[in-house]
Structure 1
């Protein structure tokens, strides 16, 4: 067959054909292009990072710039195991049950690719952080979304019915984008269903230290759920180092053994200097975590009140650093967000990006309050001054 210079080979697979690039990152690019205040992506300001861990990273560049063991720097794995035993009351063997990954996203992807496959089903609650959807598809599994938009509460009967056919249940607590914190009663229901239907639980707890009441529990603190749970978390949000890409993956050995196979051949190891800085980060006193939550709670209240003043309808979160809000126009959420960037100079994320099947009628958008107080105040002023709704 004669090929012309313009002919192109067929590319893509069934696992990637329905996947689109991240809408969150698209909104960040648009904000940069238009000079808008970026309240779309959860990026803290540089001065949020503790100076002592920055210093540790700089020092490590001069002394520790080569590969670590694939599973991570031994000192960091030991520190992770020690701290999580204190925080969650579960003991993990740093040699076989703690893996340092290239961010929490890689921990989630490695878990999904290793533990789900063709014919499996993956349950998650919507609105959901957008990466769980392609992670399921990349694994060849079928996503099973359970919508909890109306009251942010799980329906035990619906979950039990879905669990009959499922392999993995994905939890995110505190939840992005809504800030929902799963209650003890909900987690006890999840534990019962997980054992009844032989589910593996993948829990994303990257916002575990950004909570605004005393009711937060990790799923592994409930009953025997730790026996079948992979905990994915890391440094990004707790220490305001989203670009360092240091994740922690904690799981029983039989699960860790599988996910480490994917991690090994995709990442080799996480960035060594930042792993070294992670040891320093995990030595910070408990007061650091208390102030972290207090600081974000103040910013949550500032943005929430500002959105109300601007004529929007926000829902106050119990954790994480995002606010979902409804807007009172007939525009699609995508059109509203692009107009918000260009006319008000503030970037948000369309709510439809947090659903497997985006609803053209969606009227949700998500703002982050990960920025400093001055930036949030300026964003609120812009919303009020440039309001068209």
Structure 2
């Protein structure tokens, strides 16, 4: 067989030019590095223990009794949509019709993609807070829209939003605000006053808002406030959440949106051509999970708060500047006190130095210089794993 002398298609690259800048995700690169070096992986944000046994048993029961083994309904099974609506009412006093205002997705990642593909046209501008979760940039690019970052900046031991900068970023081409609170990777939780100002801006400029609230139950000081609850926001807001972060079953990929019927219909039109449906038996299990008692959520927060403090204190003792998060299960640090300047180079060398893996924040920025010295660590791990990681980091 004669080898081809040139790629099929001539000189044109195979990859769509809108995605050419993204390459392999940093999570895949660093997780592979962790596996290759036998390092503790504090990079990718997945727990190293499963969620409640009763919820795993519910999934097993669904499989064995034939619930969801074939295609579930396109919007999601009725039991789960009803449970999602009940959750929004229980925790936030927000009423949604499970039949017309709830859509089940393949995790929050598909929800984000479906929202942006459905709601954006080429030439639209999308304001996103940076550092941003990497799929935001890729999905905006796939939609042919333009990303306009507004940077959260270190201030008083945390990362803060400049509301004047946000307002200045809005132009006649702005179609949508893409918000994430509690915020990955910084751990910032937008305050009710900040959210009220964002809501007023969205109403004034008639903007759509997509909010990624997957860490809604992982707030350690204060509580989470949904943007959809502010005046004028319910009719223009798509709220995204998922089961993975709250119940520690990230591999099940069960997410959802809540929004007015017109927005749900638009997002469903895109979603049906992505996965169509997914996670059939797991939908039944998450319907049960959403009815877990308050004690479950309280214990989850307390456990993660203790783990946050173990890792934050250990990172500080190792010489990092630590931004202790108010929410999520990530800690952002600055490596400047260690005499380092390049977070990407630091993270690539860290496994050889300490047998620990972290993520460089600069990959989450358009302004690479703003995040050049920042490194993110995940603390959703067993206590003994975090304690061992802290011990290894003393080598620095």
Q: What TM-score comes out, normalization by structure 2 length?
A: 0.94
Tell me which residue corresponds to 1:381. 391
SS at 1:131 equivalent: helix
Are 1:372 and 2:371 matched, yes or no? no
CA distance in 1, matches of 2:371, 2:381: 30
Tell me which residue corresponds to 1:6. 5
Offset, 1:225: 1.4
SS at 1:61 equivalent: helix
Are 1:297 and 2:305 matched, yes or no? yes
CA distance in 2, matches of 1:101, 1:252: 16
Offset, 1:215: 4.0
CA distance in 2, matches of 1:215, 1:236: 19
Q: Which residue among 146, 170, 194 is the counterpart of 1:186?
A: 194
Tell me which residue corresponds to 1:72. 76
Q: Which residue among 44, 59, 64 is the counterpart of 2:61?
A: 59
Q: Is 1:121–1:168's contact at 8 Å kept on the other side of the alignment?
A: yes
Change over 3 Å in CA distance of 1:307–1:223 after alignment to 2: same
Number of matched pairs? 383
Q: Is 1:169–1:200's contact at 8 Å kept on the other side of the alignment?
A: yes
Answer with 182-191 or 156-165: which moved more. 156-165
Runs of 4+ in 1 over 6 A off after TM superposition: none
CA distance in 2, matches of 1:277, 1:215: 26
Change over 3 Å in CA distance of 1:41–1:311 after alignment to 2: same
Offset, 1:6: 2.1
CA distance in 2, matches of 1:324, 1:23: 16
CA distance in 2, matches of 1:198, 1:162: 14
Tell me which residue corresponds to 1:39. 42
Deviations 1:253-274 (A, max 9, x none): 1111111011111111121011
Offset, 1:351: 1.3
Deviations 1:232-285 (A, max 9, x none): 101001000111000011111111111101111111112101111111111211
Q: Is 2:76–2:277's contact at 8 Å kept on the other side of the alignment?
A: yes
Q: What TM-score comes out, normalization by structure 1 length?
A: 0.95
CA distance in 2, matches of 1:4, 1:200: 52
Tell me which residue corresponds to 1:50. 52
CA distance in 2, matches of 1:156, 1:51: 43
CA distance in 2, matches of 1:326, 1:78: 43
Q: Which residue among 145, 157, 160 is the counterpart of 2:164?
A: 157
